[in-house]
Structure 1
Amino acid sequence: MDPVIVVGAGPVGLSLALALAGSGVPSVVLDEGPGKDLPRPARTVVLHEDTSAMVHRLGCTTLRDEGALYAAWRTLRRRGRADDAPRTTFEDRQAPLHLPQHALARGLRDSAGTHPLIQLVTDSKLDSLEQDDGGITAHTRGAETTWWRGSYLVGCDGARSTVRKLLGIRFPGRTAVERHAVAALRTELPWPGEALLHRDPPRETTARPLPDGVWRLDWLLPACGELVTPDALVTLIRDTLAAWCGGTTPPYELLDTGVHTLHHRLARRWRERRAFLAGDAAHLLGALGTQGVDEGLRDAENLAWKLSLAWHQGGSEALLDSYEDERRTAVAARLRAADQAMPVLRGGGGLRTYLPGATRSGELLLTDGHLGRGPLGAAPTYAPPVAVREVPTDTEPGGQVANVPVTAPDGSTVPLRDLLGRGRPLVVLVAPGTGVWDRRHWLGAGLMPRLAAAVSALPVRTELLVADGYPGAPAHTVLLIRPDGHLAATFAGVRPAELYEAADALRCGAPESARAELDPPSTTPTTPTHPAVID
């Protein structure tokens, strides 16, 4: 079967290719540029717990080398002293990661460049595509003119997406909902390693730590204000640093500057037959602490396992449609929350008028967005196709599972999230005490033989694991987990028929005959030959 064509080699496109490769699906990544990521310290990304775990699984070493933890988020109030400011603290594993976008892209590109299932093609600009019942054909121009044949195609080619335009998909929304002046500089602030949010309406300033003593500073600008001149930006920097450092501007080295304009847009459709949209090609957001790259990575993780199932075994149309249903709904909710909150935070309206039941201050609402909590920042929950919840746990169905240690039948014990992203669901049996038993004792004891037989009979290839415990779950609870780490169902003990029904619902039913004819079903990854070029 032909590889998946990924258009765009930014963080989302590279992550999608790596996620597909992790489940044995080959891809061709078409990069319009030369394959180099120019350093721009003022262009950074924030990754929350789920997306940073995903990127780590994909082999991006820059998370370890250059990622800076938000050890705490301070909210500085008007005329308030920093030492008296409210603090939000959390464990390191829950802390957002902040790093330059070029460092993230470089780490992902390095990982993709060494993977045998990924072909990176530079200087290739897409200019046409054609679809038929058997696949999709793309034409690129650049160093050489080439036709590419793929099973599916995903446009990860940014806000001005050529894929979206070729598919004729509208991209409505709002332009310039916020403008920020941005500067990256090396200096010492009184709060090393801590992110700051300073509100003195109408002025709003954020400062985020980066590696090597570098900070990114953002100043909210009037929506229709004048251009920010270099002299005006230097004055803004000096005044801000002086206000934070006792009235004296500390020494600093200015590394990069820019003006960042935020738009809120949402593509009408995210799928057109065999073509899909992801990342900025599908949505633009970023106001009030929402994170566009975060959402793009979630697009990639959601779509990768569905394309993997379709590639290996044939996927139902409903399964492929569920990508748009789930991800567009989640991003639309984020945009709606930001649009509702903006009049409150920018125009002085009543908070209850726009966010019913909310009583928190604007500062805390903004903090939630930056920290990945609440409607502005929390990880999405997807409604399971079959609401099976025989056993309540601390994770609601559709929510992201806790990262508990699990043991595989080969005896290895690893964090649960390390086993995600392989294109297959997980079944976890909660069996206290197994963590200290030799596998030969528990593999053939208790519920395991019956559960192993039930798992082997499921309609999709599934990995069986054991956990010593799971938050809120009693012994003998069985968890069915999607390949992207969202909880699908919980059962009290071994229920083969119910487990089969839930697994079948997870894949949205059996593949249609037309899709099954595309390629013989396979349950094991294959290694096709590259490149998929039509001469």
Structure 2
Amino acid sequence: MDPVIVVGAGPVGLSLALALAGAGVPSVVLDEGPGKEEVRPARTVVLHADTAAMVHRLGCTTLRDEGAYFAAWRTMRRRQDDRRITFEDRPAPLHVPQHALTRELRAAAVAHPLVQLVTDSRLDSLEQDDRGVTVHTRGAGTTWWRGSYLVGCDGARSTVRKLLGIRFPGRTAVERHAVAALRTELPWPGEALLYRNPPQETTSRPLPDGVWRLDWLLPARGELVTPDALVTLIRDTLAVWCGGTTPPYDLIDTGVHTLHHRLARRWRDGRAFLAGDAAHLLGALGTQGVEEGLRDAENLAWKLSLAWHQGASEALLDSYEGERRTAVASRLRAADQAMPTLRAGSGLRSYLPGAARSAESLLTDGHLGRGPLGAEPTYAPPVAVREVPTATEPGAPVADVPVTAPDGATVPLRDLLGQGRLLVVLVAPGTGVWDRRHWLGAGLMPRLAAAVSALPVRTDLLVADSYPGAPAHTVLLVRPDGHLAATFAGVRPAELYEAADTVRAGAPASRLPAPSAPASPSAPSPAHTKASTTTTPIVVID
């Protein structure tokens, strides 16, 4: 079958290509640019537990050296400490420059045999049929490409979205922020800060080597921020935080970001999909647009991999839009509802008892990946099978507990996601100290292994010594993207098969036909790629 065509080589497009490759699906990534990242220290990304684990699985193994984990999160209001949150009981957010994330993803993609990166390729046409997608690009060479599916990860001005005729309604200039990256010493090394003196609002987040990213909320319709005005803003802010005296600082990078809220009407059109900024724009109140794009990629990758390897139902492919668009729409709705309270510079809301603490709490949730503004999404399962209550509701992300695979390796559960396979986890206290040859043939394992081998989707069988809230002999069915599908009391082969079939949204109506033979160079129609592992175009026109 033809490869998947990914349009756009930012963090979302590269992550999608690598996630597909991890599931054995080849892809062609069409990059409009030259394949080099612009170094902008003031443009950063905050990764929380799920997205940090995802990019690590995709090959960004040294990214943590490029960024900084928050030592704590501190809130201040009118020069008074309000709250300090530490991360002893949960993973700390990882703050990284976006160019470092993109560079590591690109390096992993270049090294992977199933990913082909094509630079200087600007999409200008797109056609679909019942076998796949054909696109035309201009750049260093004018070329036709053939793919089984296509995903537009080409940003806010997405050419894919425009060619598909999909509307992109929303609100313009929801917030404006002045941003600076500078090297200095602050009174709280390694700790992120939210400072509010309404209507003023400033955040600082640490980076390695004494570098900080500072953000200032600007008036929605204010004057342009001149270099002199930004320097004054920096000096005044540092003086407030450092006892009235501005410490020495080295200004590295600056910028002004205007944030928009938009949501594409449709995220799927036949064999074409949208992801990342092509599908949604958000970022106000601490929400993270890049992180939501990474979640798009993880959700879509396993569904396309199933379609590529086995065929998939239309319902499964439709569920990408149903799940991800609903999750992002919920974020946008929460931000819109909170905005009047959080951004009111005066009026009754400013004087309501507890209003200040509520405002800081809402903003903190957005920045720390919690609550309606930031928590990992929960997807409503078609059928919520929950024979055994656990600390995780069906559809929610699973806890990252240590698990043991049949090869004897014990790793965090999230390290085994992203391979296009379901995971079946048996909770069996004490197995952590057993030798592999003992627990494979003991207790429920032989019957469970037989049941797993009969499932309609490729599945890995794992064992956990414990799982939050789950009694012994609980069986968990986990989707390839780490969301809990079902829980069972012991081995229930028929029910387990039914739940797995529900996860894949039923059997495909029919297998896709084999790709047609390549067209000759003189033929007017575009060409197919030769085979699933060959991703170069075979017809070049002009």
TM-score band (shorter)? over 0.9
Residue 343 of structure 2 aligns to a residue whose secondary structure is helix
C-alpha distance in 2 between matches for 1:62 and 1:42: 20
- What amino acid is the match of 1:215? W
- What amino acid is the match of 1:12? V
Tell me if structure 2 keeps the 8 A contact 1:24–1:527.
no
Which residue of the partner structure matches residue 283 of structure 1? 280
| Change in CA separation of 1:76 and 1:474 when aligned onto 2, cut-off 3 Å | same
1:87-106 paired onto structure 2 within 5 Å:
87-91=84-88, 94-106=91-103
Residue 176 of structure 1 aligns to a residue whose secondary structure is strand
**Alpha-carbon offset, residue 359 of structure 1:** 10
Which residue of the partner structure matches residue 527 of structure 2? none
Which residue of the partner structure matches residue 523 of structure 1? none
C-alpha distance in 1 between matches for 2:222 and 2:31: 35
C-alpha distance in 2 between matches for 1:294 and 1:8: 16
- What amino acid is the match of 2:27? S
Deviations 1:438-460 (A, max 9, x none): 11111111111111111111111
| Change in CA separation of 1:248 and 1:533 when aligned onto 2, cut-off 3 Å | farther
Which residue of the partner structure matches residue 71 of structure 2? 71
- What amino acid is the match of 1:70? F
Is 1:48 aligned with 2:51?
Answer: no
**Alpha-carbon offset, residue 112 of structure 1:** 0.6
Is 1:204 aligned with 2:204?
Answer: no
Is 1:391 aligned with 2:383?
Answer: no
Is 1:531 aligned with 2:536?
Answer: yes
Tell me if structure 1 keeps the 8 A contact 2:79–2:240.
no
- What amino acid is the match of 2:536? P
Tell me if structure 2 keeps the 8 A contact 1:71–1:92.
no
Tell me if structure 2 keeps the 8 A contact 1:313–1:516.
no
Which residue of the partner structure matches residue 427 of structure 1? 424
C-alpha distance in 2 between matches for 1:319 and 1:416: 24
Corresponding residue pairs, total: 521
Which residue of the partner structure matches residue 367 of structure 1? 364
**Alpha-carbon offset, residue 410 of structure 1:** 1.2
| Change in CA separation of 1:499 and 1:360 when aligned onto 2, cut-off 3 Å | farther
Which residue of the partner structure matches residue 184 of structure 1? 181
Which residue of the partner structure matches residue 151 of structure 1? 148
| Change in CA separation of 1:414 and 1:336 when aligned onto 2, cut-off 3 Å | same
**Alpha-carbon offset, residue 534 of structure 1:** 3.7
Deviations 1:288-321 (A, max 9, x none): 0000001000000000000000000001100000
C-alpha distance in 1 between matches for 2:348 and 2:440: 59
Residue 163 of structure 1 aligns to a residue whose secondary structure is helix
**Alpha-carbon offset, residue 93 of structure 1:** 5.7
Which residue of the partner structure matches residue 449 of structure 1? 446
C-alpha distance in 1 between matches for 2:67 and 2:403: 27
Residue 134 of structure 2 aligns to a residue whose secondary structure is strand
Deviations 1:6-44 (A, max 9, x none): 000000000000000000000000000000001001111
1:14-25 paired onto structure 2 within 5 Å:
14-25=14-25
**Alpha-carbon offset, residue 94 of structure 1:** 1.3
Residue 291 of structure 2 aligns to a residue whose secondary structure is helix
1:162-181 paired onto structure 2 within 5 Å:
162-181=159-178
Which aligned segments of 4 or more residues in structure 1 are displaced greater than 4 angstroms?
348-352, 357-360
Tell me if structure 1 keeps the 8 A contact 2:432–2:465.
yes
Aligned partner (choices 196, 207, 210) of residue 213 of structure 1: 210
C-alpha distance in 2 between matches for 1:4 and 1:530: 9
Tell me if structure 1 keeps the 8 A contact 2:23–2:305.
yes
**Alpha-carbon offset, residue 532 of structure 1:** 4.2
C-alpha distance in 2 between matches for 1:322 and 1:450: 32
C-alpha distance in 2 between matches for 1:469 and 1:384: 24
Which residue of the partner structure matches residue 522 of structure 1? none
Tell me if structure 1 keeps the 8 A contact 2:3–2:532.
no
Aligned partner (choices 499, 513, 520) of residue 517 of structure 1: 513
Which residue of the partner structure matches residue 327 of structure 1? 324
Residue 417 of structure 1 aligns to a residue whose secondary structure is helix
Is 1:483 aligned with 2:483?
Answer: no
1:295-306 paired onto structure 2 within 5 Å:
295-306=292-303
Residue 246 of structure 2 aligns to a residue whose secondary structure is coil
C-alpha distance in 1 between matches for 2:375 and 2:356: 18
Is 1:265 aligned with 2:262?
Answer: yes
**Alpha-carbon offset, residue 257 of structure 1:** 0.7
Tell me if structure 2 keeps the 8 A contact 1:186–1:255.
yes
C-alpha distance in 2 between matches for 1:390 and 1:363: 39
Q: Which stretches in structure 2 are left out of the alignment for 5+ residues?
A: 516-530
Tell me if structure 2 keeps the 8 A contact 1:117–1:527.
no
Tell me if structure 1 keeps the 8 A contact 2:261–2:280.
yes
Which residue of the partner structure matches residue 459 of structure 1? 456
- What amino acid is the match of 1:517? P
| Change in CA separation of 1:302 and 1:349 when aligned onto 2, cut-off 3 Å | farther
| Change in CA separation of 1:323 and 1:534 when aligned onto 2, cut-off 3 Å | farther
C-alpha distance in 2 between matches for 1:50 and 1:358: 31
Is 1:193 aligned with 2:190?
Answer: yes
Residue 406 of structure 1 aligns to a residue whose secondary structure is strand
Tell me if structure 2 keeps the 8 A contact 1:150–1:532.
no
- What amino acid is the match of 1:73? W
Tell me if structure 1 keeps the 8 A contact 2:175–2:284.
yes
- What amino acid is the match of 2:241? W
| Change in CA separation of 1:373 and 1:327 when aligned onto 2, cut-off 3 Å | same
- What amino acid is the match of 2:167? R
Residue 361 of structure 1 aligns to a residue whose secondary structure is helix
Tell me if structure 2 keeps the 8 A contact 1:149–1:534.
no
Which residue of the partner structure matches residue 29 of structure 1? 29
C-alpha distance in 2 between matches for 1:304 and 1:16: 6
Aligned CA RMSD, in angstroms, stands at 1.6
Which residue of the partner structure matches residue 469 of structure 1? 466
Tell me if structure 1 keeps the 8 A contact 2:79–2:241.
no
Q: Which stretches in structure 1 are left out of the alignment for 5+ residues?
A: 520-525
TM-score if structure 2 supplies the norm length? 0.94
C-alpha distance in 1 between matches for 2:390 and 2:341: 36
| Change in CA separation of 1:366 and 1:533 when aligned onto 2, cut-off 3 Å | farther
C-alpha distance in 1 between matches for 2:355 and 2:460: 42
- What amino acid is the match of 1:34? P
Residue 171 of structure 2 aligns to a residue whose secondary structure is strand
Tell me if structure 2 keeps the 8 A contact 1:182–1:218.
yes
Deviations 1:324-379 (A, max 9, x none): 00000000000000000000001257779xxxx99952011101110000000000
| Change in CA separation of 1:359 and 1:234 when aligned onto 2, cut-off 3 Å | closer
Residue 302 of structure 2 aligns to a residue whose secondary structure is helix
Which residue of the partner structure matches residue 518 of structure 2? none
Tell me if structure 1 keeps the 8 A contact 2:27–2:535.
no
Which residue of the partner structure matches residue 317 of structure 1? 314
- What amino acid is the match of 1:6? V
Which residue of the partner structure matches residue 345 of structure 1? 342
- What amino acid is the match of 1:109? R
- What amino acid is the match of 2:501? D
Which residue of the partner structure matches residue 244 of structure 1? 241
**Alpha-carbon offset, residue 496 of structure 1:** 0.5
